[in-house]
Amino acid sequence: MFSSIRQGLFAALAGFTVLICLCYTGLALVISYVTEDMLVDRLLEREAVAVATHFGQHGELPAPRDELIRIHRDAASLPPEVRARVADGSERAEISTDTGPHYHLRALDLPGVRRVYLLADVRPLLVVSKLFQEVGGFLASVALGLVALALLLAYWLSRRLVAPLQVLAREVRNLAPRSAVAFSAAQRRDEIGYLARKLGATLADLHASLDREHAFTRDVSHELRTPLTVMNNTLSQAASRPLTAQELRQLQAGVAEMGNTVNLLFALARAGHIASETFDLRGCIEESLLRLLDGDSDEDRLALRLPDRLEVVGNRHLSMLLINNCVSNALFHGGAGSRLLLSFADGVLGMENTVDPSRPATTQGFQHGQHLLRRIAEAMDWRISFHAGGATYRVEITPIRPPISP
């Protein structure tokens, strides 16, 4: 089993190269020997035609035109090795002997005469064997050199073709957790570049998902601990005495705060998959006020200085959660007599509520959850800031405005 793709590719190229060399070498040998045999057979065929023609014209056997060919009138005059093949019924044969001669036999039937045999000792014509004997070492050296050159080329090709994949694998292996994903092969226009881009996008999405999961776990532990502690302390007193109306309101406020916090956490956990759009932020503000005021008709408590339409770019669901939490915190922590002012000027949405100076501790509750509100704003690329004063508490939100069409 190969330990890397480069070794596997080199082995495949090298094996294919050696196989091609062996196949072509064997094919060259076969063609050489077949050509040699066809040449000798053609000489015997021409001699047989000449003998038959001369015998038909003169009634006698002529002398062979080629000094390598002998005409035997019967099988008894043939060499023993050839005579054994004739006895087997062979009319054409190639006989190689251990003593040196290399015979080619051809039987010829002449009219009125018994069969004659044309026998050629073709040792002078066996150029292929002599060629390998004389220059076989040189040819073997050239063949080995070509094989070595082919193996070197296969090694170079394997390194060149696999190098981008090895660089990509090394970059993936050395990628630090939570680090920026950037692969050098992403600029390539081939399949490796496509793989690097898809792998980078997948790892970036995975890192973003892990970051949201870790943030969700951290926020659950941090943001829910305070309301749970307050509720547990209040409920622990219920075993010894009935709860007062103030304590019941605290429990209800804690439950409401936990519900808002859970909604925020789930929204932030899904923020990476929520698309942005252009919508009317004033509509979201009015919807939030109608729900939170719940029929409160005190006009002195609420003041709106907003344009008729406030077009912004973001996510409507996240913006509703952001407005709901800011308004609910302002109404609850400001006290029963607090006044709320919502205004929009110079691209900034301001939400300002009065605070009872005699109860400065109530502003601490409003600061609870600021981290989540900042994360919601950052998820939509908005900005949010908090300004605590002696008599007022102000939240400023800077949303993204859509481009003004000409």
**Domains of the chain, earliest start first:** 5-132 (no CATH), 176-208 (no CATH), 224-269 (no CATH), 275-406 (3.30.565.10)
Structure tokens at 404: 């003004």
| CA contacts within 13 A on the Cβ side of 271 | 26
User: Of the candidates 369, 268, 259, which has an alpha carbon nearest to the alpha carbon of residue 318?
Assistant: 268
Tokens of 92: 């054409």
For residues 188 and 168, give the distance between their C-alpha atoms in angstroms, rounded to a whole number.
Answer: 12
What interhelical angle do 245-269 and 225-236 show, nearest 10? 160
The span from the CA of 311 to the CA of 403, in Å, is 10
pLDDT score for 113:
66
Distances in Å between the Cα of 10 and the Cα atoms of 3, 169, 217, 219 are 12, 18, 49, 53
Residue 340 pairs with which residues in a beta bridge?
302, 353
Residues 6+ apart with CB under 8 A from 302: 289, 293, 339, 340, 342
User: Residue 261, Cβ neighbours under 10 Å: how many?
Assistant: 21
Assigned token pair, 249: 């309101």
Q: Which of 321, 199, 331 is nearest to 264 (CA)?
A: 321
Q: State both tokens at 320.
A: 């509703």
pTM of the full predicted structure? Answer: 0.46
Q: How far apart are CA 329 and CA 352, in angstroms?
A: 11
Contacts 24+ apart (CB under 8 A), 278-281: 278/311, 278/312, 278/313, 278/402, 279/311, 279/312, 279/314, 279/316, 279/319, 280/309, 280/310, 280/311, 280/312, 281/310, 281/311, 281/312, 281/319, 281/349, 281/399
Q: CA-to-CA distance for 313 and 277, rounded, in angstroms?
A: 5
Residue ranges of the chain with per-residue pLDDT less than 50:
1-2, 297, 361-367
What is the predicted pLDDT for the residue at 204?
82
